[in-house]
Structure 1
Amino acid sequence: MKVLVVTHSNDKYCPPLVMEALQKQGAQAIRLDTDCFPTEVKINLSYRGAERRMFFKTADGDVELDELDAIYCRRFSPAGKLPDDMDIQYKRTVHRESYATLLGMLSCSDTFQLDPYDVVSRAENKPLQLKLAQQLGFTVPETLSGNDPEEVRAFFHRHPDGIVAKVLKAFSIQEEGREMVMYTNRLQESHLGELDRLALGPLTFQQLIPKALELRVTVVGERIFAASVDSQGSEKSQTDWRRDGLTLQTAWSPYQLPMDVERKILRLMDILQLNYGALDFILTPQGELVFLEINPAGEFVWMQTCTGFPIADALAEVLLGKAPRRETYRFGTPRA
């Protein structure tokens, strides 16, 4: 069996684990670093009458998509190696066209994908996640997304225990050679006078949820791997554990979820048509689980390393059809 792992050159930890797991189970694992397209990788998607052919060329040889048994859609980062001196307008154009070409080829493949880009793109919608989670019976934080300063001020005063600010779409910027990300931050009263800056970009605000533990729940097919960490011992990690992520990386331990919570999680995965997802919860001091979000392409290597969970093996089993999988609906094919 042949499995294509779609990622980029800087994705150094997850792909090797999954590829090793695939090889242990007798499959051939092929890596496609999307940042090398179009500068080093050549893609061909052709139609000639009723005949269609999809293949790409790398330094390691040609790969026919119709000969693949599964595709692991891990990361997309096309046009990542364009010349530094290339005009920014042309770079943007090449990036968009490369993205469309790569995803066009993948969307035309009838091979099982974990998970298709359009499915992941829809599942990444955070407001939709909260809506579905609430419908399934999860407790979710009171949330406000937008750019209206008056509404944010009213939201702040409605929650005397505090609120936090966060983004709906994770991003990073390069500053002096360092990658900078935006964490979840507590909004102070002194910030209220700066809210007119929302006219330059919206944010999302949520009520501050007291924490006894933070949970990370990784789902692969029908398997659930849950772990918890105490993030409240350090002031640095109290609002967002990632601020002290390196310290807490080895502090996670397996956590047993109630059966009804596991059923709701799997139902959410069914609705979103995801075979993989990393969910974040808060366990309050009163023992209530509060749903925060699901990342359809969340990291798992640190979790596997810390807890010993066989997440890469589980991914390989789903990719190879050795474990239950969710077959996603494809445009142009009848529903089962």
Structure 2
Amino acid sequence: MAGGGGSVLVLTNSLDVTADVVLRVLAGRGVPVVRFDPGADLHSGASLTAAYGAGGQRGVLRTSSRALDLTRVRSVWVRRASPYEGPPQLGAQERRFAAAQSLWGAGGVLASLAGAHYVNHPWSNRAAEYKPAQLAVARRHGLSVPDTLITNELRAAREFAAGRAGGVVYKPLWNTAYEVDGLPHQVWVRQVRADELTAGVETCPHMFQAKVDKAFDVRLTAVGGRLFAIRIDSPDLDWRRRQDLMECTPIAVPEQVARAVTDFLGELRLVYGAFDFAVARSGEWYFLECNPNGQWAWQPPETTGAIAQAIADQLQRGPDL
């Protein structure tokens, strides 16, 4: 659908305050928006119907407040929807069945709206979340990456750690829910020594990287061809650990890095990406990762506001004809 009409469909949970920032912008512009959390709302009165056949593709999404013609969706913002878990009143087996049918049914319908502009398409998000693939794409487009080893072989991990004079860090390949003594526990990026590594490495692939002798970090948020970068000064190796201690200031992006980021997004078919870089004392920017659905509303107000406007522009415009 052209950008001149139709609703914006926002797929996210009811507590997503980051989405609220953009929704306020769209409301101020008079753009119609439907907010929907398929993993939760389909268990609380909402319904989704889609038909395919000789008459084409059509469908309707009904929520507690409105009915949305699925042929009149100009854009879909894939934010932070709840996981598909099945109705809570069902038994374990029935819940698993319902959750799978919802994922492949409702998830498939919402990912296949003809003519809609996705930010980002959920399948592009999933493909882009694999860190090994990110590193390969980053290198292909000329970004510097730290020496990296992904292995479940203890000897290889110890040799890698021992062979880097500047040290080695461990980081998880996926942000998996983890508990210690029944309490949620975050696995932070941390420095490790060769003699610390145990046979636990052999349980699954682990990711080790040469530690960058960094002067500061950079979060670069890309929305289409628009880049918003902030310098992060933190006392911690992983600045996420104590965000109240970090300082954030806008920073210019080197031209070569800007080109590579744009090419990175193009290859992975992303409209949005939250890139993390470590900037060495030498001035070189090292690519660490790209979160295709990363948070951004924690940044300085002027940066947060600019990103919100850029995302709203994408959603309001809809697809290119």
Q: TM-score, normalised by structure 1?
A: 0.86
**Does the 8 Å contact 1:47/1:53 carry over to 2?**
yes
Residue 221 of structure 2: aligned partner: 218
> Which runs of 5 or more residues in structure 1 are unaligned?
328-335
Specify whether residues 81 and 179 from structure 1 end up closer, same or farther in structure 2 by C-alpha distance, changes over 3 A only.
farther
Residue 186 of structure 2: aligned partner: 181
Moved segments of 4+, more than 6 Å: none
* 1:147 lines up with 2:144 in the alignment: no
Q: TM-score, normalised by structure 2?
A: 0.90
Out of 204, 213, 225, the position equivalent to 1:201 is 204
**Does the 8 Å contact 1:54/1:105 carry over to 2?**
no
Out of 130, 149, 160, the position equivalent to 1:125 is 130
Higher RCO structure (Cα 8 Å, ≥6 apart): 2
**Does the 8 Å contact 1:140/1:290 carry over to 2?**
yes
Specify whether residues 217 and 286 from structure 1 end up closer, same or farther in structure 2 by C-alpha distance, changes over 3 A only.
same
Residue 298 of structure 2: aligned partner: 302
* Secondary structure of residue in 2 paired with 1:243: coil
Q: What's the CA shift for 1:164? A: 1.0
Q: What's the CA shift for 1:316? A: 0.6
Out of 282, 288, 313, the position equivalent to 2:284 is 288
* Structure-to-structure mapping, 1:191-270, within 5 angstroms: 191-192=196-197, 194=198, 196-231=199-234, 234=235, 237=236, 239-248=237-246, 251-270=247-266
Q: What's the CA shift for 1:78? A: 3.6
For 2:184 and 2:48, locate their aligned partners in 1 and report how far apart those are by CA, in whole Å.
30
**Does the 8 Å contact 1:133/1:140 carry over to 2?**
yes
Specify whether residues 72 and 210 from structure 1 end up closer, same or farther in structure 2 by C-alpha distance, changes over 3 A only.
same
For 2:302 and 2:49, locate their aligned partners in 1 and report how far apart those are by CA, in whole Å.
41
Q: For residues 233-282 of structure 1, what are the alpha-carbon distances to aligned partners after superposition, in whole Å with 9 as ceiling and x for unaligned?
A: x3xx1x2111112332xx21100112222122111111112110000001
Specify whether residues 136 and 210 from structure 1 end up closer, same or farther in structure 2 by C-alpha distance, changes over 3 A only.
same
Q: What's the CA shift for 1:81? A: 7.2
Out of 109, 127, 130, the position equivalent to 2:113 is 109
Q: What's the CA shift for 1:308? A: 5.0
Out of 15, 18, 25, the position equivalent to 2:19 is 15
Specify whether residues 144 and 88 from structure 1 end up closer, same or farther in structure 2 by C-alpha distance, changes over 3 A only.
farther
Specify whether residues 273 and 230 from structure 1 end up closer, same or farther in structure 2 by C-alpha distance, changes over 3 A only.
same
User: Higher mean Cα deviation, 115-124 or 219-228?
Assistant: 115-124
> Which runs of 5 or more residues in structure 2 are unaligned?
none
Residue 35 of structure 2: aligned partner: 31
Aligned residues: CA RMSD:
2.3
Specify whether residues 186 and 132 from structure 1 end up closer, same or farther in structure 2 by C-alpha distance, changes over 3 A only.
same
**Does the 8 Å contact 1:252/1:306 carry over to 2?**
no
For 1:45 and 1:211, locate their aligned partners in 2 and report how far apart those are by CA, in whole Å.
52
